[in-house]
A and B are shown apart, each in its own frame.
Chain A
């Protein structure tokens, strides 16, 4: 005759299993949350970098051909191009960078200019963001024309 086999689990076994499940689901939830957050922040970083690069490329092209650069205030820069037109770069309160040409056509790069400020020296425009090394953007014309009187 076979010995009686008890069916089911003891309370200790159930408590152990439940504890392990809780720990497992907490860890799984955290991994899932990290994955989603990382995906989102990775996309944000990529978008911001792309926008910033595009704005800096345009700013570099504008300054490269500048005959004069003035900074009326730290959030705007006026660039007098070699062809006589004036370009205005402004950083608005929503941290958008806005470029306006002589015909009042505007280009805008959204939310890239947090803490950005402009300064100028003899032949360049300097863009600072208080975090990284300031970007010095040179004017080829001013650089080659030598020291100013």
Chain B
């Protein structure tokens, strides 16, 4: 008489369950690490862009002191230019004692801008408002 071989499949089901749990853990871990590294990169890029904006403000102030207006593209250090970074300044006179400057810094997939208002006090131009945008 031939006996049918009984296989419950218990070992396979539990192995699959364990592997699924491990896969879930690894996926969660991977997602968390990816998100954190992306956030760190964004923070670094943001800091770099703010440095560009500060440089742009200094550039705008020196040009305004010399009564120079218009749109300028500021040459950046080679290491930044190699990464396609750009810094542009648009200076617009509003009145004899008021000038605005829009400064935009960008790198691929990330940009930051600021709007500055310059006013003239005692013959000297100064930043009277600085609105940081995005």
Q: Which of A35, A53, A139, A140 contacts B39 (CB 8 A)?
A: A53
Give the distance in Å from the alpha carbon of A61 to the alpha carbon of B129 in the complex: 12
| A-side interface mostly | helix
User: How many residues of B are counted as interface, with CB atoms below 8 angstroms from the partner's CB atoms?
Assistant: 29
User: How many residues of A are counted as interface, with CB atoms below 8 angstroms from the partner's CB atoms?
Assistant: 27
Tell me the nearest residue of chain B to A137, going by C-beta: B50
Q: Does B14 count as interface, using CB distance less than 8 angstroms?
A: yes
Give the distance in Å from the alpha carbon of A82 to the alpha carbon of B57 in the complex: 16
Given A39-B28, A45-B32, A49-B39, verify A28-B18 contact (CB < 8 Å). Answer: yes
Given A138-B50, A144-B57, verify A24-B14 contact (CB < 8 Å). Answer: yes
**Chain A hits for B58, CB < 8 A:** 144
Q: How many A-B residue pairs have CB under 8 A?
A: 72
A interface, CB within 8 angstroms of B: 24, 27-28, 31-32, 34-35, 38-39, 42, 45-46, 49, 53, 60-61, 64-65, 82-83, 138-141, 143-145
29 interchain pairs, CB-CB under 8 A? A24-B14, A28-B17, A28-B18, A31-B18, A31-B21, A31-B25, A34-B25, A35-B21, A35-B28, A38-B32, A42-B28, A42-B29, A42-B31, A45-B36, A46-B32, A61-B131, A64-B130, A64-B131, A82-B128, A140-B114, A140-B116, A140-B130, A141-B127, A141-B129, A144-B57, A144-B58, A144-B126, A144-B127, A145-B127
